[in-house]
Amino acid sequence: MTTPTTGRRAANVALWALQVVVAGFFVMSAVSKFANAEPSASTFEAIGWGDWFRYFVGVLEVAGAVALFVPRLAGVAGLAFAGLAVCATLTEVFVSGGSVVLPLVLLALCAVIAWGRRESTARLWAQVAGA
Protein backbone atom coordinates (compact mmCIF):
# COMPACT_ATOMS: atom_id res chain seq x y z
CA MET A 1 0.00 0.00 0.00
CA THR A 2 1.26 3.45 -0.88
CA THR A 3 1.37 6.06 1.85
CA PRO A 4 0.94 9.76 1.05
CA THR A 5 4.64 10.35 1.75
CA THR A 6 5.70 7.54 -0.58
CA GLY A 7 3.36 8.83 -3.30
CA ARG A 8 4.73 12.36 -2.97
CA ARG A 9 8.27 11.06 -3.10
CA ALA A 10 7.54 9.03 -6.24
CA ALA A 11 5.89 12.06 -7.88
CA ASN A 12 8.90 14.20 -6.97
CA VAL A 13 11.31 11.67 -8.49
CA ALA A 14 9.17 11.46 -11.64
CA LEU A 15 9.11 15.26 -11.91
CA TRP A 16 12.89 15.44 -11.54
CA ALA A 17 13.30 12.83 -14.28
CA LEU A 18 10.96 14.80 -16.54
CA GLN A 19 12.86 18.01 -15.78
CA VAL A 20 16.14 16.34 -16.79
CA VAL A 21 14.65 15.13 -20.08
CA VAL A 22 13.07 18.50 -20.91
CA ALA A 23 16.24 20.38 -19.94
CA GLY A 24 18.28 18.10 -22.19
CA PHE A 25 15.93 18.71 -25.09
CA PHE A 26 16.11 22.48 -24.70
CA VAL A 27 19.91 22.46 -24.44
CA MET A 28 20.10 20.45 -27.67
CA SER A 29 17.64 22.85 -29.26
CA ALA A 30 19.76 25.83 -28.17
CA VAL A 31 22.92 24.23 -29.60
CA SER A 32 21.21 23.89 -32.99
CA LYS A 33 20.26 27.58 -32.84
CA PHE A 34 23.82 28.63 -31.97
CA ALA A 35 25.16 26.42 -34.78
CA ASN A 36 22.65 27.84 -37.28
CA ALA A 37 21.54 24.30 -38.08
CA GLU A 38 18.38 23.40 -39.96
CA PRO A 39 15.45 23.66 -39.48
CA SER A 40 16.22 26.36 -36.94
CA ALA A 41 18.06 28.60 -39.40
CA SER A 42 15.30 28.68 -42.00
CA THR A 43 12.56 29.06 -39.39
CA PHE A 44 14.19 32.09 -37.84
CA GLU A 45 14.95 33.46 -41.30
CA ALA A 46 11.23 33.16 -42.12
CA ILE A 47 10.34 34.99 -38.90
CA GLY A 48 12.41 37.86 -40.24
CA TRP A 49 13.77 39.32 -37.01
CA GLY A 50 17.41 38.52 -37.75
CA ASP A 51 20.02 36.31 -36.16
CA TRP A 52 19.86 38.18 -32.86
CA PHE A 53 16.42 36.67 -32.19
CA ARG A 54 17.63 33.12 -32.90
CA TYR A 55 20.51 33.62 -30.46
CA PHE A 56 18.18 35.23 -27.91
CA VAL A 57 15.84 32.23 -27.98
CA GLY A 58 18.85 29.91 -27.64
CA VAL A 59 20.04 31.81 -24.57
CA LEU A 60 16.52 31.62 -23.09
CA GLU A 61 16.51 27.87 -23.68
CA VAL A 62 19.85 27.40 -21.91
CA ALA A 63 18.82 29.64 -19.02
CA GLY A 64 15.53 27.78 -18.67
CA ALA A 65 17.28 24.42 -18.77
CA VAL A 66 19.54 25.53 -15.93
CA ALA A 67 16.53 26.86 -14.00
CA LEU A 68 14.88 23.42 -14.24
CA PHE A 69 17.64 22.16 -11.94
CA VAL A 70 17.09 24.89 -9.33
CA PRO A 71 14.22 23.73 -7.08
CA ARG A 72 13.01 27.27 -6.39
CA LEU A 73 12.94 28.12 -10.12
CA ALA A 74 11.77 24.83 -11.66
CA GLY A 75 8.07 25.73 -11.70
CA VAL A 76 8.73 29.15 -13.20
CA ALA A 77 10.97 27.54 -15.82
CA GLY A 78 8.15 25.10 -16.63
CA LEU A 79 5.77 28.03 -17.09
CA ALA A 80 8.26 29.93 -19.24
CA PHE A 81 8.93 26.89 -21.40
CA ALA A 82 5.17 26.34 -21.78
CA GLY A 83 4.95 29.88 -23.12
CA LEU A 84 7.87 29.25 -25.44
CA ALA A 85 6.16 26.07 -26.68
CA VAL A 86 2.97 28.03 -27.43
CA CYS A 87 5.05 30.49 -29.47
CA ALA A 88 6.80 27.61 -31.24
CA THR A 89 3.43 26.04 -32.07
CA LEU A 90 2.14 29.32 -33.49
CA THR A 91 5.34 29.74 -35.49
CA GLU A 92 4.94 26.27 -36.98
CA VAL A 93 1.33 26.99 -37.93
CA PHE A 94 1.69 30.52 -39.29
CA VAL A 95 5.31 30.86 -40.40
CA SER A 96 7.03 27.62 -41.31
CA GLY A 97 4.05 25.34 -41.96
CA GLY A 98 5.73 22.47 -40.14
CA SER A 99 4.35 19.88 -37.79
CA VAL A 100 2.96 21.04 -34.44
CA VAL A 101 3.38 17.66 -32.75
CA LEU A 102 6.74 18.33 -31.09
CA PRO A 103 5.90 21.79 -29.71
CA LEU A 104 2.55 20.51 -28.41
CA VAL A 105 4.22 17.54 -26.70
CA LEU A 106 6.74 19.94 -25.15
CA LEU A 107 3.89 22.21 -24.08
CA ALA A 108 2.22 19.31 -22.30
CA LEU A 109 5.46 18.20 -20.61
CA CYS A 110 6.28 21.75 -19.49
CA ALA A 111 2.74 22.19 -18.18
CA VAL A 112 3.19 19.02 -16.11
CA ILE A 113 6.41 20.44 -14.64
CA ALA A 114 4.77 23.81 -13.95
CA TRP A 115 1.81 22.13 -12.26
CA GLY A 116 3.96 19.71 -10.30
CA ARG A 117 6.19 22.53 -9.04
CA ARG A 118 3.36 25.01 -8.41
CA GLU A 119 4.02 25.13 -4.66
CA SER A 120 7.58 26.34 -5.17
CA THR A 121 6.33 28.86 -7.72
CA ALA A 122 3.76 30.15 -5.22
CA ARG A 123 6.44 30.47 -2.51
CA LEU A 124 8.73 32.32 -4.92
CA TRP A 125 5.90 34.63 -5.97
CA ALA A 126 5.08 35.37 -2.33
CA GLN A 127 8.73 36.24 -1.66
CA VAL A 128 8.98 38.48 -4.72
CA ALA A 129 5.63 40.18 -4.07
CA GLY A 130 6.48 40.72 -0.41
CA ALA A 131 9.87 42.27 -1.16
Asked if the bond preceding 103 is cis, omega within 30° of 0, the reply is no
pLDDT attached to residue 130: 86
Identify the three-state secondary structure at position 131. coil
pLDDT attached to residue 5: 85
Q: State which residues of the chain have pLDDT below 50.
A: none
Contacts of 1 (CB under 8 A, 6+ apart): none
d(CA 68, CA 66): 5
- Under a CB-based contact definition with an 8 Å cutoff, are residues 117 and 81 in contact? no
pLDDT attached to residue 50: 87
Write 24-27 long-range contacts (CB < 8 A, 24+). Answer: 24/65, 25/106, 26/61, 26/62, 26/64, 26/65, 26/81, 27/61, 27/62, 27/65
pLDDT attached to residue 37: 93
pTM given for the model? 0.91
pLDDT attached to residue 7: 86
pLDDT tens per residue across span 63-79: 999 999 999 999 999 99
Residue type, 91: T
pLDDT attached to residue 58: 97
d(CA 80, CA 90): 16
